[in-house]
Structure 1
Amino acid sequence: MVSGGKDGRAGIDAELVGRLVAEQFPQWADLPVMPVEFEGWDNRTYRLGETMAVRLPTAPGYAPAVAKESGWLPRLAPHLPVAVPTVLGVGKPDEDYPFPWSVRKWIDGEAADRGHIGDRSAFAVAVADFLHALQACNTAGAPEAGEHSWFRGAPPGHYDYETRRCLRALEGRVYIAGASAVWDAALAANWAGDPVWFHGDVSEGNLLVADGALTAVIDFGTSGVGDPACDLVIAWTMFTGQSREAFRQTVAQDDGMWARARGWALWKALLGLANSNGRDPHDASNHRIIADLIDEHARKA
């Protein structure tokens, strides 16, 4: 049984998902397929019955994550303090859909940007504890940072040209000298540690909450092993004041790590502003993030 309509990206809709499931996983052919309220952009998610979900990449750059997650999440999950996706099956491309896709267990909870968080400082500590546990996982044979991770885990200098293009485009809209100083400090803070696991997209939408607490982390599509500075960006995108300080104290990283993290956060915020038409609802948040980064860098200098 299939219900729900067109979703609009990569030709994905509930009818397509139902047909793929019926043909490749006939044991689930009779289960209803329903779009979820917030289906995502890199991947589309559909509910399959009451206990499963179907996740489908929307473009070629997101397709490699299917094999990565199905291969590595079972190895990481036992060592992590909260739930992560459980892959139940991997589907094949066909004439109507060109990428691999997966069936997963449904994880209850709401994304942190929409769900209730009881104690934000305690939540920040829980996120930091998750990162510590992830970084402690065995890296033998794990995927090194690169194109598959959109270069998260690599030096932020990979995005130097793009960042400086954004700075030029935003002249008069942001404090260019201050932002440039943040970026230059990030490039100068060379990382010399051993590669560790990073998630690559620790954001409110990928953190699930229930009863006010962190219960799961999802979307490991940009994960790999390398420099985990990219995972600290949430210090500015989600946390402020006491919760930011609680996160900072718990992750306990050195000044160089924080300098690179500020670079990652700056790149993303500048890119958002440079690509905006001036009416994007995220503009105010990006301006606030950039101001915080500049202020923090100035205080550390």
Structure 2
Amino acid sequence: MGQRGVAPRRRLRRPTAASRARRSARTARAGGAARCRRAARTDGSAGPRARRERRGRGRLTVGMVRGPWIHGERALDESPAARGSWAATLAHALDALHADAPEDHPVNPFRGIPLAMRSEAVAARLQHLREAGTLDAASTEGLREVWRAGVSAAPWDRPPVWIHGDMHPGNLVVHNGALAGIIDFGDVTAGDPAYDLAIAWLAFDARGRAAFVTATDSRYDADAWIRARAWAAAVALMLVAHSDDNPDYLALGWAAVDAVLADGVG
């Protein structure tokens, strides 16, 4: 089986369908800015790569473009231990993706933003899961502390970079034990790359996580990894709270809770 890679030309997410429709009908001046065009895929020798395309003074059409068919299976169907074999490859692919974004990058109000902007939602989800008996007291407090640490960490203070915005094993394609591609760029935005780096806890066991972090070659500082772990906690809570009808993602959420509580990257 395979997966269809989908990458945006310039889909801007807005709170209402009306504003999204208006935005979809517009064109924007490219002015030489980079745009994400397609999913990362393997070329048979160099492994997955993220490609950006530049335009000169032409006009950039708002919309979606379909990428190539990527042969393989969901990384979600591999064990966290097995995923470690391609941890370094994913780190290199994200390094290519996390390039400076133009000023008119797509805005996502939930991804790549300062963590403090999501504190109310995270607190509410923790309270709900604790009151429902889904989380025990120790896990609730542990996840709360991870989130607080992320909020307290130094924020991203550099220009916004492109981020995938929905980086989890269900959006990674593997084939014959290797990473074949990254799909579903529907939430692409720009901002703090820590949101994507949460994959370290969402995909890997401790060994794979260490390989992933090492492969980033110190591009991200200690505070970025603290924020990333906090984002992983937030995503895990979302999966646990809203995946009753999807056992695969519910299992992913619980595995991520365990990973976040088990260790950081230091």
Does 2:190 match 1:225? Answer: yes
Contact 2:38 2:50 in 1 (8 A): no
Per-residue CA deviations over 1:9-50 (Å, capped at 9, x if unaligned) read xxxxxxxxxxxxxxxxxxxxxxxxxxx99899xx9xxxxxxx
Percent identity reads 31
Equivalent in the alignment of 1:82: 48
Contact 2:39 2:185 in 1 (8 A): no
Specify the code of the residue in structure 2 equivalent to 1:211.
N
Task: Give 3-state SS (helix, strand or coil) of 2:181's partner.
Answer: strand
Contact 1:142 1:225 in 2 (8 A): no
Per-residue CA deviations over 1:186-234 (Å, capped at 9, x if unaligned) read 1111222232221112222222223321222222222222110011121
1:103 and 1:128, CA in 2 relative to 1: closer, same or farther beyond 3 A?
Answer: closer
1:111 to 74, 85, 88: 74
Specify the code of the residue in structure 2 equivalent to 1:264.
W
1:62 and 1:246, CA in 2 relative to 1: closer, same or farther beyond 3 A?
Answer: farther
1:62 and 1:291, CA in 2 relative to 1: closer, same or farther beyond 3 A?
Answer: farther
Equivalent in the alignment of 2:105: 143
Counterparts in 2 of 1:168-247, with a 5 A limit?
A: 168-171=127-130, 172=133, 173-174=135-136, 175-189=139-153, 190-247=155-212
1-side partners of 2:221 and 2:233: how far apart?
19
Aligned residues: 230
**TM-score, length-normalised on structure 1?**
0.61
Does 2:213 match 1:248? Answer: yes
- Mark the runs of 5 or more structure 1 residues left unpaired by the alignment: 1-35, 44-58, 87-99
Does 2:95 match 1:132? Answer: yes
Specify the code of the residue in structure 2 equivalent to 1:205.
G
Between 1 and 2, higher relative CO (CA 8 Å, sep ≥ 6) is seen in 2
Per-residue deviation, 1:277: 5.2
1-side partners of 2:114 and 2:50: how far apart?
27
Per-residue deviation, 1:108: 2.7
- Computed over aligned residues only, the root mean square deviation of the Cα atoms, in angstroms, reads 4.3
Work out which of the two has the higher radius of gyration on C-alpha atoms and give 1 or 2: 1
- Mark the runs of 5 or more structure 2 residues left unpaired by the alignment: 7-15, 29-33, 53-62
2-side partners of 1:76 and 1:271: how far apart?
25
Per-residue CA deviations over 1:241-275 (Å, capped at 9, x if unaligned) read 32111001112322211111111111121123233
Task: Give 3-state SS (helix, strand or coil) of 2:70's partner.
Answer: coil
Does 2:116 match 1:166? Answer: no
Task: Give 3-state SS (helix, strand or coil) of 1:170's partner.
Answer: helix
